[in-house]
Amino acid sequence: MKSLFQIKMVLLLIVATGFVARAQDSRIQMGSLDHLAAKASQTVDVNIDGRLMAIAAKALSDHDADEKQVKKLVAGIKGIYVKSFEFDSDGQYSAADIESIRTQLRAPGWSRLVNVTSKKEGVIEVYLLLNGEQIGGLAVLSTDDKELTVVNIVGPVDLEKLAKLEGQLGIPELGIEAKPKTKNDEQ
Amino acid sequence: MNEDYLWDKSGQPDPQIQELEEILGTLRYQPKPLVIPRGLAVSRRRNYFPLLAIAATVLLALLAAGVWVQMRNNSKSQPQQAKVPPAVDEKKIPSPALAITEPTPVNKPIVRERTFAANNKRRNRTASPSLGKREQEEALAAKEQLMLALRLASEKLNLAHRKTQNTTPAQIKNQHRIG
């Protein structure tokens, strides 16, 4: 009886470890981009791990509609990591810098959902980590001549709800977008 | 009989008196040094004054320490008057994991926290009142970061969406599974 319990516990541990490993898999290491901060005219570096996510969730109000929406969206998310560099001149980052991110996104489980390449507007790639039919993580790699942005969300995320958040959060423009939004874009 | 002998031993002594003198003379005082027996224990009277003084000092010190500790505890547990914190400069709020940096002319990046718009201030004050002041600040900073990150993610997703809408099929290289 006792040995059966021990076996169950070991199995549970293995399964739990597997889940943890899967959750960690969707985390992209962006440390290789840190050296770009010295060259960048503006750097955005956001690292929200599980602990900070829980703390931030406490600060989100249930009475405010927008914040309630955000709270629902981030309920299952285990971390959000962003690195965005904006440069004054072209060619400040190398192909190797981008490759260091892409290599990780070639790992099993990751799927490239979108890859748009434009000579004028650069490249934007959207990757999803799929656990069966469920989204286990999201990565966005956006580059143009003067900008390099990597967004990584760890955990299940509702893409539709996330896309709808833009313009609803009351956060002012940071000027990260190279091209300002036009009226047509907003429509 | 010459009675002078009885007074100052002068004159002729009486034979009977002489005989008495000889008999009683054996009991005469004999000067000899004092000999104290070895086994005799000499009982001395102890002086307890220094011990008592030390004990009293220690007792007083303990008493004083006790009073001080109690006074200190009382002053701690006294309900503090609600203090209205001075208007917090958003720039001063520490943001542990968020850094928006701009390099100095010598290319050394200095951290410069962004001030978020006034319309965000109301939202920023909605942290749970049950949190401590420090926790509340941390929660607000985390919330700001979260909002910023979500906005960026949302913006990039929409940008990708817009680009896929506005681009020719040739520009959309692939939408296939890599892993």
Distance CA B12, CA B1 (A): 8
CB count in 10 Å sphere of residue A186: 9
| pLDDT, tens digit, 9 for 90 and up, residues B28-43 | 888 888 888 888 777 7
Instruction: Name the average pLDDT for chain A.
Output: 79
Q: Provide the residue range defining the domain that includes B157.
A: 95-166
- pTM, two decimals, is 0.54
Q: Provide the residue range defining the domain that includes A100.
A: 30-47+79-169
| Residues A124/A116, Cβ–Cβ less than 8 Å | yes
CB nearest A116 (choices: B108, B157, B167): B167
| Residues A32/A98, Cβ–Cβ less than 8 Å | no
- Does residue A63 have a pLDDT over 70? yes
Edge-to-edge strands of the sheet including A147-154? A110-118, A122-131, A134-144, A147-154, A79-86, A42-48, B98-103, B109-111
Instruction: Please name every residue paired with B111 in a beta bridge, in sequence order, or none if there are none.
Output: B101
- Please check whether residue A125 lies inside any domain of the structure: yes
Number of domains, chain A: 1
Chosen from B102, B110, B146 to mutate, greatest number of chain A CBs within 10 A: B146
Give the minimum alpha-carbon distance from B133 to chain A in angstroms, rounded to a whole number.
12
Report the percent of chain B where pLDDT is more than 90.
14
- Please check whether residue B41 lies inside any domain of the structure: no
Q: Provide the pLDDT for residue B86.
A: 44
| pLDDT, tens digit, 9 for 90 and up, residues B63-76 | 999 999 988 887 66
- Please check whether residue B115 lies inside any domain of the structure: yes
* Nearest one of A5, A84, A16 to A44, comparing CA atoms: A84
Residue with tokens 């690195």: A83
- Please check whether residue B151 lies inside any domain of the structure: yes
- Please check whether residue B82 lies inside any domain of the structure: no
Tell me, letter by letter, the H, E, C secondary structure of chain B.
CCCHHHHHCCCCCCHHHHHHHHHHHCCCCCCCCCCCCCCCCCCCCCCCHHHHHHHHHHHHHHHHHHHHHHHHHHHHHCCCCCCCCCCCCHHHCCCCCEEEEEECCCCCEEECCCCCCHHHHHHHCCCCCCCCHHHHHHHHHHHHHHHHHHHHHHHHHHHHHHHHHHCCCCCECCCCECC
Give A-chain residues touching B120 at CB under 8 angstroms. Answer: 170-172
CB nearest A124 (choices: B101, B114, B163): B163
Report for A24-28, A66-70, B18-22, B76-80: range of highest mean pLDDT: B18-22
Number of domains, chain B: 2
Of the two residues B110 and A38, the one the predictor is more confident about is A38
Q: Provide the pLDDT for residue B83.
A: 43
CB nearest A46 (choices: B98, B126, B157): B98
In this complex, do A37 and B101 lie within 8 Å of one another by their Cβ atoms? yes
Closest residue in B to A128 (Cα) is B177
In this complex, do B146 and A169 lie within 8 Å of one another by their Cβ atoms? no
Of the two residues B80 and B155, the one the predictor is more confident about is B155
- Does residue B81 have a pLDDT over 50? no
B residues 62..121 contacting A (CB < 8 A): 96-103, 107-109, 114, 116-117, 119-120
Query: Which has the minimum average pLDDT: A114-118, A175-179, B143-147?
Result: A175-179
Query: Which has the minimum average pLDDT: A39-43, B24-28, B96-100, B147-151?
Result: B96-100
Give the minimum alpha-carbon distance from B86 to chain A in angstroms, rounded to a whole number.
21
- Does residue B175 have a pLDDT over 50? no
- Please check whether residue B128 lies inside any domain of the structure: yes
Instruction: Name the average pLDDT for chain B.
Output: 70
What ipTM goes with this model?
Answer: 0.73
Mean pLDDT of B122-142: 67
CB nearest A48 (choices: B97, B160, B161): B97
Report for A86-100, A113-127, B81-95, B98-112: range of highest mean pLDDT: A86-100
- Does residue A142 have a pLDDT over 60? yes
Distance CA B6, CA B28 (A): 17
Which strand (E) or helix (H) includes residue A81? strand A79-86
Q: Provide the pLDDT for residue A93.
A: 92
CB nearest B139 (choices: A49, A58, A170): A58
Distance CA B123, CA A97 (A): 37
DSSP A94: -
On whether any CB of chain A is under 8 Å from the CB of B139, the answer is: yes
Distance CA A150, CA A43 (A): 12
In this structure, what token pair is assigned to residue B28? 């005469």
Distance CA B124, CA B169 (A): 43
- Please check whether residue B19 lies inside any domain of the structure: yes
Of the two residues A176 and A117, the one the predictor is more confident about is A117
In this complex, do B97 and A52 lie within 8 Å of one another by their Cβ atoms? yes
- Does residue A110 have a pLDDT over 70? yes
Report the percent of chain A where pLDDT is more than 90.
34
Give the minimum alpha-carbon distance from A2 to chain B in angstroms, rounded to a whole number.
42
Of the two residues A1 and A180, the one the predictor is more confident about is A1
Of the two residues A120 and B92, the one the predictor is more confident about is A120
What SS3 state is found at A150?
A: strand
In this complex, do A118 and B163 lie within 8 Å of one another by their Cβ atoms? yes
| Residues A73/A80, Cβ–Cβ less than 8 Å | no
Distance CA B101, CA A43 (A): 5
B residues 143..172 contacting A (CB < 8 A): 143, 145-164, 167, 171-172
Distance CA A60, CA A167 (A): 17
Q: Provide the pLDDT for residue A12.
A: 52
- Please check whether residue A139 lies inside any domain of the structure: yes
Of the two residues B170 and B113, the one the predictor is more confident about is B170
| pLDDT, tens digit, 9 for 90 and up, residues A46-59 | 999 888 888 888 88
DSSP A186: H
